[in-house]
Amino acid sequence: MKFVNLLKKELSELINAQMIIGLIVSLSLFWLMGNVMQSVTEELAEDSRNTNVYVCDMDDSDVTHDLIKDMESNGAAVNKVTVNGEDYAAALKDKDYKSFVVLPKGFGDTVKSGKKPEILSITKVKSASAFSGMTGGTDTAEALINKYLSVELSKQQGVSEEELKNIESELSVVSHTVVADKSAKISSGAIIGKITSQNLILPIIIMVLILMTSQSLIASISNEKIDKTLETLLSAPVSRGSVITAKMLAAAIVALINAGVMMFGFSAYSKGMTGAVTSDLNVDGILQDNLTTDQAFRQLGLNLGVTDYLLVGVQLFITIMICLAISIILGALVNDSKSAQTMLLPIMMMVMIPWFVSMFTDVNSLPMVPRIIVYAIPFTHTFTSIPNLMFGNTAEFWIGMVYQIVVFAIVMFFALRLFKSDKILTMSLNFGQKSRFKKSGKTNED
Amino acid sequence: MANVLEVKELSKQYSKVLAADKVSFEIAEGEIFALIGPNGAGKTTTIRMISTLLQPTSGDAVVAGHSILKEPEKVRESITYLPDEAGAYKHMTGVKYLRFMAGLFTSDIEKLNAYVERAKNICGLGERLNDKIGSYSRGMIRKLLLARAVMTKPKLAILDEPTSGLDVLNAIEIRKTIKKLAAEEGMSFLLSSHNMLEIEFVSDRVGIISKGHLMVTGTTAELKERYSAPNLEEVFERVVKENEVR
């Protein structure tokens, strides 16, 4: 009985409205993540069983006609693509497919002469997310062409079916990647790989920056409230504006120092990691006579200039300001050390969601509701800023920045009003419980 | 003597509670005025309004000629406030804390040094001032905070429960310091306390507040005579109970 009494007391302390809200938030987060992953996996599954094949028949010969018939007889729905010269980007502009195969001139003659023919694989990359370079339709096309060639060349050379199984690919694929209105002779995998390795650090820095800044400011305000040093400070002949500006600036400086150190550490770490990965995959070796990734980056316009980096810097600054403004409000709600820890949760959610989503997929490819939720989070636009600038989505970049400025102005307005009002001393997040001040017998109304 | 503080019908309405209802009193130069009342009576709310921390719902208070509504920054130059159970920055040493707080009152380095020296003498913490505040006892922190509150020679020092939680010896020392500063330097004090013995010993005049109303003000002797009570504690009890009956 005594133990039950003790247990009831412990449970009543632990199971409170804060915990329930935490659970609801976690459930919502999982729901959102589930939606994101479902859309990604559906896209992957659809891509893997994609029988919609896009082919540009530049050779227009008996062999290519026969090949296309063979592909259709194998269950593929072959769609014809027209390309003007080598303008592959124009062929993919405003189309719902993002890759196709080109059967170049002389393809049929090469096959007839018993040599290994070449085809071109064209892929459009729209974002830097892990699955943005999916080319299911093209893979199907390549497999079917390869199968056709194996049979045809085997017939020519009198190879038996048993021997045929041991024959390696008869097809040589030259990959082209399209970004916006530019294309380069390189595989989309190499481009995505390079972008991923380059952008590995930035999201982590953004996360550290946001979490560190919030944590410092929330702790700074809540400690002053809990220790009652805030009352002393606010009764001194200094304006409340100065007090809060000093706190915001200090939090931002500390966060920047932390971010700088993290950036240095992670750049050393990722250099080691990506170096090893690149040499393992022999990416440059695969390129052979193709472009190097650096050359391809330049050709595709993926390299960021000084102005781009300045814009990213400005956006990071706005992000920190939003985060500081939110932290002032959260810090003001704290009335004990327990609630101080909980206060970081909303910021954590607002960082984790866009980070997770932008890592796996393009936000635009999400279903409507999750997409609106993710875009409503102001930090999303920070995570998507570099990919937007890289892929020439300047309109999206500017819309994101304007949205962040509007969010900052609104949150800062409320934060300053709060800090300059009585509420900074009287407000607390009690969820119906008595505040620490009331419990101690010293009420706010005393 | 001129009044350092004139409180004129100060009221504060929280969402459901009228914490202070037209509270009026004044404090003369060099006077120690104690505001006493049960928990939740409105003492801290009144003190916080005078300290410009809370905005009154109605009424005004004038500190050294400056209105808390119209010139709150001027008011803050004339007062210091020591909240109940106040802490200090634990990562700082005593001296650093005093320098930091002095720096909020003046940018003149000579004045700042003079304030710190004065605080050092008043708190009597000696070499311990070079230690981190985190290592101080409650009594030491209270002495440091009291020294901080009076180092700038404010026209009005507002002390909420200045000796709460202290042992007898530390409490006596703090009371003596308050009396000495009022008598020798003409500093005015607005105190709040639950300790009637302390109030009888230290204050020149007393105001008893209950349910937001300032029921009565006067010297301890006047109040004892008016209520035919042997001590302030009985006066307090009668005043508060009378208000509850009403």
Q: Which of A110-124, B32-46, B50-64 has the lowest mean pLDDT?
A: A110-124
Residue among B17, B81, B104 whose CB faces A231 most closely: B81
What per-residue confidence (pLDDT) applies to A205? 80
Residue among A422, A426, A441 whose CB faces B39 most closely: A441
What per-residue confidence (pLDDT) applies to B222? 93
Top-ranked range on mean pLDDT: pick from A51-65, A141-155, A239-253, B129-143: B129-143
What is the residue-wise DSSP string for A306-341?
Answer: HHHHHHHHHHHHHHHHHHHHHHHHHHHH--SHHHHH
Percent of chain A with pLDDT over 70: 80
Q: Which residues contact A143 (CB under 8 A, 6 or more apart)?
A: none
Residue among A232, A238, A445 whose CB faces B81 most closely: A232
SS3 A295: helix
To the nearest whole Å, the CA of A381 is away from the closest chain B CA by: 38
Q: Which of A38-42, A346-350, B148-152 has the lowest mean pLDDT?
A: A38-42
What per-residue confidence (pLDDT) applies to A393? 86
| Closest-approach residue (CA) in chain A for B11 | A445
To the nearest whole Å, the CA of A418 is away from the closest chain B CA by: 12
SS3 A342: helix
To the nearest whole Å, the CA of A417 is away from the closest chain B CA by: 13
Are A179 and A123 in contact by the 8 Å Cβ rule? The answer is: no
What per-residue confidence (pLDDT) applies to A341? 74
With 90 as the cut, is the pLDDT of residue B12 above it? yes
Give the pairing of strands A172-179 and A118-124.
parallel
To the nearest whole Å, the CA of A233 is away from the closest chain B CA by: 8
With CB atoms and an 8 Å threshold, state whether A239 touches B80.
no
Task: Give the integer Cα–Cα distance in Å for A151 and A153.
Answer: 6
What per-residue confidence (pLDDT) applies to A164? 65
Report, as an integer, the average pLDDT of A306-314: 86
If pLDDT is split at 50, 70 and 90, which confidence band does A439 have? very low
Q: What integer best gives the mean pLDDT of chain B?
A: 91
| Closest-approach residue (CA) in chain A for B87 | A227
Handedness of CA B66, B68, B69, B72 (dihedral sign): positive
Backbone angles phi, psi at A196, to 5 degrees: -60, -45
| Closest-approach residue (CA) in chain A for B54 | A422
Contacts of B80 in chain A (CB under 8 A): 235
Handedness of CA A265, A266, A267, A271 (dihedral sign): positive
With CB atoms and an 8 Å threshold, state whether A237 touches B40.
no
CATH 3.40.50.1370 fits A50-185, yes or no: no
Q: For B90-104, write each residue's pLDDT tens digit.
A: 989 999 999 999 999
Q: For A187-202, write each residue's pLDDT tens digit.
A: 787 787 777 766 667 7
Higher pLDDT, A342 or B148: B148
Q: For B130-170, write each residue's pLDDT tens digit.
A: 999 999 998 899 999 999 999 999 999 999 988 887 888 88
What per-residue confidence (pLDDT) applies to A435? 44
If pLDDT is split at 50, 70 and 90, which confidence band does A443 have? very low
If pLDDT is split at 50, 70 and 90, which confidence band does B61 have? very high
Are A59 and A108 in contact by the 8 Å Cβ rule? The answer is: yes
With CB atoms and an 8 Å threshold, state whether A228 touches B85.
yes
Beta strands in B14-139 (DSSP E): 18-28, 32-36, 58-63, 66-67, 79-82
Task: Give the integer Cα–Cα distance in Å for B171 and B246.
Answer: 36
Q: For B31-52, write each residue's pLDDT tens digit.
A: 999 999 988 889 999 999 999 9
With 70 as the cut, is the pLDDT of residue B11 above it? yes
What per-residue confidence (pLDDT) applies to A302? 81
Domain ranges for chain A, please list them.
50-185, 197-440
| Closest-approach residue (CA) in chain A for B55 | A422
Q: Which of A229-233, A253-257, B197-201 has the lowest mean pLDDT?
A: A253-257
Substitution target from B16, B21, B39 for chain A, most A beta carbons within 10 A: B39
Task: Give the integer Cα–Cα distance in Å for A379 and A319.
Answer: 7
Question: Which residues on neighbouring strands pair with residue B62, listed in sequence order?
Answer: B6, B67
Q: Which of A31-40, A433-442, B53-62, B200-209 has the lowest mean pLDDT?
A: A433-442
pTM of the predicted model, to two decimals? 0.72
